[in-house]
Structure 1
Amino acid sequence: IQTDAAINPGNSGGPLVNAAGQVVGVNTAIIGDAQNIGFSIEIDTVKPLIEAIRNGGGDVRGDQAFLGVNTTDVASESPANRAQFDITVEEGAFVQSIVPDSAADDAGLEPGDVIVSVNGRSTPDSASVGAIVRELQPGDQVTISVLRGGDPVEVTATLGERG
């Protein structure tokens, strides 16, 4: 998660909280040269690790599948973005950026795409994409249905490993 919340040196590991007081992430890094640009790990990624530690620890990392997309909820997109990318749906995960050389990049996903399903499962929001990917393993193939400029497009990606 990219945020403009103040993350000072030493705050890594602290919670990222939304306006409703809900923990939505764990602060991890800031960009040194930029003002107020920080990054947090999505809370849904952290929850299984917390449970593993509570249940006796061990190797809590394991192999985690990685798609390589940064997304937001379509519902939160501005009218300008909706017009620019011809977004006519109310649900989905809007692709803001693609991690270079990732599964998403290799599959041909593009910024501006709206992910509407993964492996036939509806993705009404950004969190649902992450939840589906977390159920899978590196090397698994996924079929991703997107809207690109309003047109349906289907791509296949081979998930990488989160490093």
Structure 2
Amino acid sequence: MLKRLWLIFAQTVTVCAGVGLAVVLWEHFHGSPDAASLPVMRESGTVLSYSEAVKKAAPAVVNIYTTQAVEEDEDTAGTNPAGIPRSSGATPLGSGVVVSRNGFILTNNHVIEDLTDISVALHDGREFQARRMGIDPETDLALLKVDAQDLSPIEFGSSDTLEVGDVVLAIGNPFNVGQTVTMGIVSALGRHSLGLNSFEDFIQTDAAINRGNSGGALINSSGQLIGINTAIFSPDMNAGTSVGIGFAIPTRLVNEVLPALMKSGRVRRGYLGLVPQALTPEIADKLKLGGRQGVLVAVVKKDAAAWASGIREGDLITSVDGQPVTDVAAMMRQVSAIKPGRTVEVMFYRGGKKWRTQVTLQERPPLKGK
């Protein structure tokens, strides 16, 4: 009995060894499959694709054009592409995103700035004259309206949940070639101090954004809007070609501006009436601030709320309305989000002593010429 068991065991080991040797020899001569080279599969068993996300979002992205005389760039003049009407005199402007079933379309202010004749070509080929319903030059957002019903509005996603490395898709009408989708990742979050807008909190992406993409959609892999494509960095800014550094306005900021544009055509923001300055380590040492955090007051306008409340140049503001002040951009966003006419407490340091005052915010004046 023991001899028979030993024979069975020995045969089993021999077979396993033979199988193992065969696998080793196969991998040696044919190469072991690299996991990175294998197709990424969905649960459905098909190769990974973002087509469902595009099908979901693309019907909400429109082309914006005008028949009004505008100065054209030599690189785009004379094109006769798909995507906008081929009627004589039609000039492409950019892209837009349908945000309601009854015809509201969001775009960039710089796309339609100073124009009175604005037209929209929908994804399904329909064309409409558009009315300007509101603009916000300080975020470079604008709202149009077309007389149409049962449109396909885009689904909003949350830009607050984005992380660097997330896959994103840009949809628009670059160089007027027709609706185009490009893919990339989130390269950075919270980009500001670029000198583009008064209020900046950009998503940076390497998804190709070119001239004509402005006002179009930046979507996540679920087909939800997470940004409005707005600007690029390019060594040759006149050409407007992508080098992998594009910027989009996040939906967090869009959600702050869009309701106001729909309601009244403009955004009312709180205003202290001062010019803030970043606190650098060198300035902090010079003023002997002892490691305190805050924003310096560079200029105070004498007809503004801050002056009337006793705030002066050289003060270090540390909190507004109970919220700590960390940097210039954050303080501007914080103050602008407060309704004009409301009284808030401002904490600041002067001469090494801590002070507090009550400030009744004014309405932030519009940009000159707007």
1:81-137: CA deviations, max 9, x gaps?
A: 335533223421111111221111111111111111112211122223222212211
Count of paired positions: 131
Q: How big is the alpha-carbon RMSD for the aligned residues of Structure 1 and Structure 2?
A: 3.3
SS at the partner of 1:62?
Answer: coil
Matched, 1:116 2:318: yes
**Which residue in the other structure is 2:278 paired with?**
73
Question: Compared with structure 1, are the counterparts of its residues 23 and 93 closer, same or farther at alpha carbon in structure 2 (3 Å cutoff)?
Answer: closer
Give the alignment of 1:6-85 within 5 angstroms: 22-27=191-196, 41-43=198-200, 58=262, 59-74=264-279, 77=280, 79=282, 81-85=283-287
C-alpha distance in 2 between matches for 1:131 and 1:150: 27
C-alpha distance in 2 between matches for 1:157 and 1:54: 27
1:47-76: CA deviations, max 9, x gaps?
A: 777667878x544423211111211232xx
C-alpha distance in 2 between matches for 1:62 and 1:153: 31
Matched, 1:137 2:306: no
Segments of structure 1 that go 5 or more residues without pairing to the other structure are 1-12, 14-19, 28-39
Question: Compared with structure 1, are the counterparts of its residues 53 and 149 closer, same or farther at alpha carbon in structure 2 (3 Å cutoff)?
Answer: closer
Question: Compared with structure 1, are the counterparts of its residues 158 and 52 closer, same or farther at alpha carbon in structure 2 (3 Å cutoff)?
Answer: closer
8 Å contact kept, 2:257–2:267: no
8 Å contact kept, 1:88–1:150: no
C-alpha distance in 1 between matches for 2:275 and 2:289: 17
C-alpha distance in 2 between matches for 1:69 and 1:109: 9
C-alpha distance in 1 between matches for 2:267 and 2:199: 17
Matched, 1:97 2:299: yes
SS at the partner of 1:95?
Answer: strand
C-alpha distance in 2 between matches for 1:60 and 1:151: 44
Please say which of residues 121-130 and 107-116 is displaced more in the overlay.
121-130
Question: Compared with structure 1, are the counterparts of its residues 61 and 89 closer, same or farther at alpha carbon in structure 2 (3 Å cutoff)?
Answer: farther
Q: Which has the higher Rg, Structure 1 or Structure 2?
A: 2
Segments of structure 2 that go 5 or more residues without pairing to the other structure are 1-109, 111-187, 202-248, 366-370
8 Å contact kept, 2:306–2:359: yes
Aligned residue identity for 1:73: A
**Which residue in the other structure is 1:10 paired with?**
none
C-alpha distance in 2 between matches for 1:54 and 1:137: 16
User: What is the aligned-residue identity percentage?
Assistant: 24
Under a length normalisation based on structure 1, what TM-score does the superposition of the two structures give?
A: 0.63
